[in-house]
Amino acid sequence: MEKQKLEHSTFAGGCFWCMVKPFDEQPGIESVVSGYTGGTTVNPTYEQVCTNKTGHYEAVQITFDPAVYPYKKLLELFWQQIDPTDSGGQFYDRGRSYQTAIFYHSEEQRIIAEDSKRELEESGRFSKPIVTEILPAKEFYPAETYHQGFYKKNPERYNAYQKGSGREAFIRNHWGE
């Protein structure tokens, strides 16, 4: 049997706790890891990243089978988890570490991401410009163990955060149920 060809995608969408569940539940997704990328500090800690001095974003790195769940479909799901018009962070999480970005792992991913962003801009779904950056992938550092799979380990806290931060209402308002 031929081994499947897996790829990586990396998305920064504000708090990484909220970015795992939507992807984790899809067919063809092998893993979703919370972590840090885009900065200069080697192997940063959560506390360091929260200072907004490391240059890192909170992000998720997804290992996926593009034959089952194509990259374009991952992007569509990504856009539905964020406010792509907010350059200062996401919902009540503010600062660089909570800004949105798509980190591409190949030229093909870059082109697909730029096309996807352009399609969203042209859709008229948002009245403000789409500010999510598209950047080359950098070293990805997995976050501490207690951050991994947070929605499974702490469902009450996760649900309260999702609702209390305003993310849940924003998603429902812009994308429906």
Q: Is 50 among the residues known to form the active site?
A: no
Spatial CA neighbour of 59 closest among 83, 82, 33, 80: 33
- Specify the DSSP class assigned to residue 68: T
Q: Which residues of 72-95 are buried (b: 16+ CB within 10 A; e: fewer)?
A: eebbebbbebbbbebeebbbebee
User: Both tokens of residue 160?
Assistant: 């309260």
Size (the chain), residues:
177
8 A C-beta contact, residue 131 and residue 101: no
Catalytic residue among 11, 12, 13, 15: 15
Spatial CA neighbour of 23 closest among 65, 57, 58, 56: 65
CA angle (125 as vertex; 166, 133 as ends), nearest 5: 75
Element (H, E) at 122: helix 107-123
Tell me the catalytic residues.
15
